[in-house]
Amino acid sequence: MQRLAIRGDLLDLTDDPGFGAVESSAVRFDADIWLLVEDGRIAGRSRTDPGEGWTRIDHRGRLITPGFVDTHVHMPQLDVIASYGTELLDWLNTYTFPAETRYADPAVSRAGAERFSDALLAHGTTAAVVFPTVHAVSSDALFDAAAARGMRMITGKVLMDRHAPAGLTDDVAGAERDCTDGIARWHGRGRLAYAVTVRFAATSTPAQLAMAGELLAAHPGVYMQTHVAENRAEVAWIAELFPDARSYLDVYHRHGLLNGRAVLAHGIWLDDADRARLAATGAQIAHCPTSNLFLGSGLIGWRALEAAGAAVTLASDVGGGTSLSMLRTMAAAYQVQALQGVRLTAWKALHAATRGAAQALHLGHEIGSLDVGCTADLAVWDWAVGPVATHRDALARTLHERVFAWMTLGDERNLAQTFVAGTSRFERRTPECRDG
Ligand code: GUN
Ligand code: ZN
C-alpha cells in the first residue's frame, strides 16, 4: 500500500458559502497538520507525525488545497493566448481558427496535448473540461496525455460543420462516427470522460445539433460542452441563424443539449427564462472572467444566476482567457463582480473552482475537496511570493484576509507542488546553488 503524509495548512470548502459572508461555517481550515493519503486517496489527518511507515513530505508553512477544476479551457489555444485587438468573432477568425487547423497533424496534437496537460499541472489544476479541435487526433492526444498523468479530464472532438475555414470543419456523419468511436474508446476509462463538444450554435448546422442531442440521449453519462451568450454581436448572429428560437440558450434546449452534464461557457447575455432553464436542466455556466475582460465580452450576472438556482463554476478559457492560473481567474472574478457592486469572497471563489465545480460535474465524491475517500489531487502553495505579498500576508488579521490576499496577489509562481492521485506530477524547481 502507498502511504503518503503531507504536512501543511489544509484549506477546503465543505459547502457553498454563498455571497457575502467572510465568516463562513463552510470553511475548513486546519493549520499545520498532516494529510494522510493511502493508495492515492485521502485517508485522514494527523496532528502528529504519522511515523516510519509513511512517506512524509514536509510543506510546513505552506497552504494545501484541493487541485483546481477548470471547467472550460481550450488545449490548442496556448498558441494564441494574449493576441491583440479583437472581440470574439474577429478573434476567432483572425487568430484562433488558423491556429487550430495545425492540429490536424497528429504530431502537433500530441505535442500540444502534452504541453497543455503539463501546463495545467504547473498551475495547480488537476481536473479540466477541455476543448481540443475538430480533429479526432486532437482529442485522442489529449486523452492519452491525461491518462499518462492520471488526470481527471473531460473532453471530446469539437463539432463544427459550417462557418469555419476548410481544414476546420467536419460533417454530420463523420462527426457522429468520431464521437461514437471516441465514447467507446475513452468514456469511463480510468479518470477520463467524453464530452459531446459543440463549439457554438453558429458553427453547427441544425442537423449537426440534432445529431449531438441524439448522441447524448443514447449515451447517458456523457458530458456536453459548448459556448453560450458570450458577446453581443455573437448573440445577434445566433438570432439571425435561428429565427425560431426564443433565445441563444433555447437553440441548445430545442436540440436536447441541456442536462445536468452540460457545461456552457460564459452565459453573460441571458434573461430570466434562460436562467430558469439552466436551473431546471441542471446545466452549469462556466464563468470565464479573464476572457470576458480581455475580449471585452461583458460582465456576468453571477448573483442572478445563483438566485435562479443555476450552477456557476470558474474557468480560465485560455486562449480568450489570459492565464491558466485559477488564482488569477478568481481575482478577475472578484473584479467582474466589483464592477457591478457585488462582493465575491475568497470562499465563494474558491468553492466555484473546487468543490462547486466538482459537484456541478457530478464528481463531488472524487475531486474538489479534502474529504476522506476523495482522490488525492492536491496543490501546495506558498502563501506569498515576493516582498509585497509577503509583507501583506504578514499583516493579515483574519483567515479570509489572508486567503483573499493569496488569491489576489498570487499565481502559478506560488505553486510548490502538485499531486494527482497521490503522485507528484509537478514540483517547482528551486534555483540551483552556484559555487563561488
Ligand atoms: N465561441 C466559439 N468558439 C470560441 C472560443 O474558442 N473561445 C471563446 N472564448 N468563445 C468561443
Ligand atoms: Zn471557450
Find the 317 Cα to ligand 2 centroid distance in Å: 5
CATH 2.30.40.10 for domain 3-67+369-435, yes or no, is yes
pLDDT score of 435 more than 50: no
Find the 88 Cα to ligand 2 centroid distance in Å: 10
207 CB contacts (<8 Å, ≥6 apart)? Answer: 172
Model confidence band, residue 434 (pLDDT cutoffs 50, 70, 90): very low
pTM of the full predicted structure? 0.98
Q: Is the CB of 200 under 6 A from ligand 1?
A: yes
Ligand nearest to the CA of 234: 1
Q: For the chain, what percent of residues have pLDDT higher than 70?
A: 99
Find, among 114, 126, 127, the residue nearest to 78 by Cα: 114
Which mutation among 70, 200, 238, 288 tests ligand 1's pocket best, with the greatest number of atoms within 8 A of CB? Answer: 200
Model confidence band, residue 431 (pLDDT cutoffs 50, 70, 90): low
Q: Which residue's CA is the nearest one to ligand 1's atom 3?
A: 199
Closest ligand 1 atom, residue 74 Cα: 6
- What pLDDT was estimated at residue 436? 36
- What pLDDT was estimated at residue 383? 98
Which residue in this structure is represented by grid cell 472550460? 72
- What pLDDT was estimated at residue 196? 99
- pLDDT 10s digits, 63-122: 999 999 999 999 999 999 999 999 999 999 999 999 999 999 999 999 999 999 999 999
Q: Is the CB of 266 under 6 A from ligand 1?
A: no
Find the 96 Cα to ligand 1 centroid distance in Å: 9
Model confidence band, residue 304 (pLDDT cutoffs 50, 70, 90): very high
Residues with CB under 5 A from ligand 2 (ion): 265, 317
pLDDT score of 433 more than 70: no
- What pLDDT was estimated at residue 432? 54
Model confidence band, residue 36 (pLDDT cutoffs 50, 70, 90): very high
Show me where the domains of the chain are located: 3-67+369-435, 68-324
Closest ligand 1 atom, residue 295 Cα: 9
Q: What CATH class has 68-324?
A: alpha beta
Q: Is the CB of 92 under 6 A from ligand 1?
A: yes
- pLDDT 10s digits, 316-327: 999 999 999 999
Separation CA 142–CA 113 (nearest Å): 5
Model confidence band, residue 134 (pLDDT cutoffs 50, 70, 90): very high
Find the 227 Cα to ligand 1 centroid distance in Å: 7
Mean residue pLDDT across the chain: 97
- What pLDDT was estimated at residue 21? 87
Q: Is the CB of 199 under 6 A from ligand 1?
A: yes
Cell of 252: 441548445
- pLDDT 10s digits, 169-215: 999 999 999 999 999 999 999 999 999 999 999 999 999 999 999 99
Which mutation among 203, 230, 235, 287 tests ligand 1's pocket best, with the greatest number of atoms within 8 A of CB? Answer: 230
Q: For the chain, what percent of residues have pLDDT higher than 90?
A: 97
Q: Is the CB of 74 under 6 A from ligand 1?
A: yes
Find the 385 Cα to ligand 2 centroid distance in Å: 30
Closest ligand 1 atom, residue 77 Cα: 6
